[in-house]
Amino acid sequence: MITKELVDLEELMGYHFSDKTLLIQALTHPSFNSGKSDYSNNQRLEFLGDSILGSVLASWIFSEFPDEDEGELSKKKAMLARGSHLTSIAKSIKLEEFVQASPSEFCEETGFRDSLLEDAIEAIIGAVFLDGGYRSASEVILKWTPLFQKNLVQSPAEFNPKGKLQESLQARSKNCRISYHVIRETGPDHKKEFTVELVYNGRTLGQGVGLSKRLAEENAAQTILAKLHSI
C-alpha cells in the first residue's frame, strides 16, 4: 500500500500515524497473505481494539446519560458494539477502499463482508492505541459521536428483532414455531464468527452471521423482518 493511500485514510480518520506499519497491519486481513510463514495480519490488533472500543463507549455512555441505570447503559453499549454499527463506522471512513484481503473475500455486488470491515475497524483502534496511546484512540473513536447518536435513536423493535419477528409471525399463525440453529463456526477462538439459520414451522427462512450466537440470531431475525412481506 503506497504512502498516499495511507495519508488519504488518515485524513478520513483524523489521525496520523507515527508508525505507518501499524496502520498497514491493521488493514491486512488474514486471507491476504495466507500460506506465508512470516506474514502479519490484523487479528491481534482486533483483540486489543475491541477492548479499547468497549472502554471508550462505556465512558461516553456513562457521561452522556447521567440519569439512566446500569441496565439501560448496558443496553446502549451493546447497541453501539453491534456489528451493524461498526460496519457503518467503517463505511463512514471508506475503509473498504483500503483493506487488504484475498479476492475471495470480495463480492462484486456487496463488496467486503461486514464482519471483515468490523474486524478492521477494531484493528485500527488497536493500532492507534499502540501508536499514540489511550487518549489518541479515544479521540479517534469520539469523532464518530454523530454515528453513536444516530444509532441510539433506533426503535426498540430494531434493537430486539427476535421479539419483533416472533410477534409478526404469531399474528400470521397461531402455531408459530421459530428456532435458530448454528450451522457454521469460523475464525480464531477469540474472534469466532457464527452463521445461524432461522427455521419457521419447519421451513428455513434465512440466515444471519455474527461474532456471537446471539448477534447471529438477531441478524437472521432482522433479515427476515426486512423481507417479511414475501413470506
pLDDT at residue number 34: 64
Residue 140 has pLDDT above 80, yes or no: yes
pLDDT at residue number 2: 56
- 217 tagged catalytic: no
At 207, which helix (H) or strand (E)?
Answer: strand 203-210
pLDDT tens digits, one per residue of 158-209 = 567 888 788 888 777 667 788 999 999 988 877 788 999 999 888 888 898 8
User: According to DSSP H, which parts of 153-212 are helical?
Assistant: 156-159, 161-172
pLDDT band at 147 (very low <50, low <70, confident <90, very high): confident
Q: What is the DSSP letter of 93?
A: T
Got the DSSP string for 71-87? HHHHHHHHHHTSHHHHH
* Alpha-carbon distance values, 45 to 10, 25, 122 (Å): 17, 8, 7
pLDDT at residue number 202: 86
- If you search the block for the grid coordinates 447471529, which residue do you land on? 216
Domains of the chain: 3-154 (1.10.1520.10), 158-230 (3.30.160.20)
- 50 tagged catalytic: yes
Q: Which of 46, 118, 119, 122 is catalytic?
A: 122
CA-wise closest residue to 211 among 187, 194, 190, 197: 194
Cell, residue 115: 464482519
pLDDT band at 4 (very low <50, low <70, confident <90, very high): low
Amino acid present at 195: T
Q: Which of 50, 118, 197, 218 is catalytic?
A: 50
Q: Please state, in angstroms and rounded to a whole number, the distance separating the CA atoms of residues 114 and 108.
A: 14
Question: N- to C-terminal Cα distance for the chain?
Answer: 46
Length of the chain: 231
Q: What is the DSSP letter of 100?
A: B
Q: Please state, in angstroms and rounded to a whole number, the distance separating the CA atoms of residues 158 and 172.
A: 20
Among 8-17, 130-139, 155-164, the least confident range: 155-164
Q: Please state, in angstroms and rounded to a whole number, the distance separating the CA atoms of residues 196 and 221.
A: 10
**Which residues does residue 100 pair with via DSSP β-bridges, in sequence order?**
28
Average pLDDT, the chain: 84
Instruction: Report the DSSP pairing between strands 111-112 and 193-200.
Output: unpaired
pLDDT at residue number 35: 60
Cell, residue 213: 450466537
Q: Please state, in angstroms and rounded to a whole number, the distance separating the CA atoms of residues 30 and 25.
A: 10
Main-chain dihedrals φ then ψ at residue 184, nearest 5 degrees: -160, 145
**Which residues does residue 185 pair with via DSSP β-bridges, in sequence order?**
194
Among 90-94, 144-148, 153-157, the least confident range: 153-157
